[in-house]
Amino acid sequence: MTASQEPVDPVQDPDIASTADELQAELAAVRAELEAAQAQVLAQQEQALRAMAEAENVRRRSQEDVSKARKFGIESFAESLVPVKDSLEAALAQGEQTVEAFREGVEVTLKQLTGAFERNQLKEVAPAAGDKFDPHLHQAISSIPSEQPANTVVQLLQKGYVIADRTLRPALVVVSAGQG
């Protein structure tokens, strides 16, 4: 065997020994990076699971809140109407009443009812003659020739109501067709 074909002992050759040491160091660095990356992946997986669990909790709580709002949303309005019912029952329980006393009791009860409507954002829609017709708040029952401009209210037949800017019942009106 020639000198170039003889096996080289890495312990005796300093170039090969330093290269082996460098490879070992590089391998250790790569292993450390791999371990760090794996730890980071596990941490991110845990964060993702926690985020999914939190989103599910928020969804469930929201569903419960909506259910409670549907179930108890009318509670405030009902509490406002109970005294009105009490007043009506008290008026009917009175045996001998004068017309004036009965009227006074009805007026007090109407004030209670109006207060209950106000506390619960229930407002009357009662357009006056000459007001512009609003299809969102009014329902035209008929149209008649009139000296008023077209599409204005001539007569109110029945009050309407809105609750928190949503029409509960439109006001029934007669509308002007203009001069005919």
The closest alpha carbon to 162, from 100, 104, 101, 118, belongs to 118
* pLDDT of the residue at 13: 63
* pLDDT of the residue at 96: 85
Token pair for 15:
């170039």
Residues 175/157, Cβ–Cβ less than 8 Å:
no
Cα–Cα dist 138/127, whole Å: 8
Q: How big, in percent rounded to 5, are the helix, strand and coil portions of the chain?
A: 55, 20, 25
* pLDDT of the residue at 60: 96
Helix 75-93 with 99-119: angle, nearest 10 deg: 180
Question: Residue 155 forms beta bridges with which residues?
Answer: 174
* pLDDT of the residue at 9: 58
The closest alpha carbon to 134, from 113, 151, 159, 149, belongs to 151
Residues 142/175, Cβ–Cβ less than 8 Å:
yes
* pLDDT of the residue at 136: 95
* pLDDT of the residue at 113: 95
* pLDDT of the residue at 8: 55
* pLDDT of the residue at 45: 97
* pLDDT of the residue at 77: 87
Low-confidence ranges of the chain (pLDDT < 70): 1-15, 17, 180
* pLDDT of the residue at 180: 61
* pLDDT of the residue at 49: 96
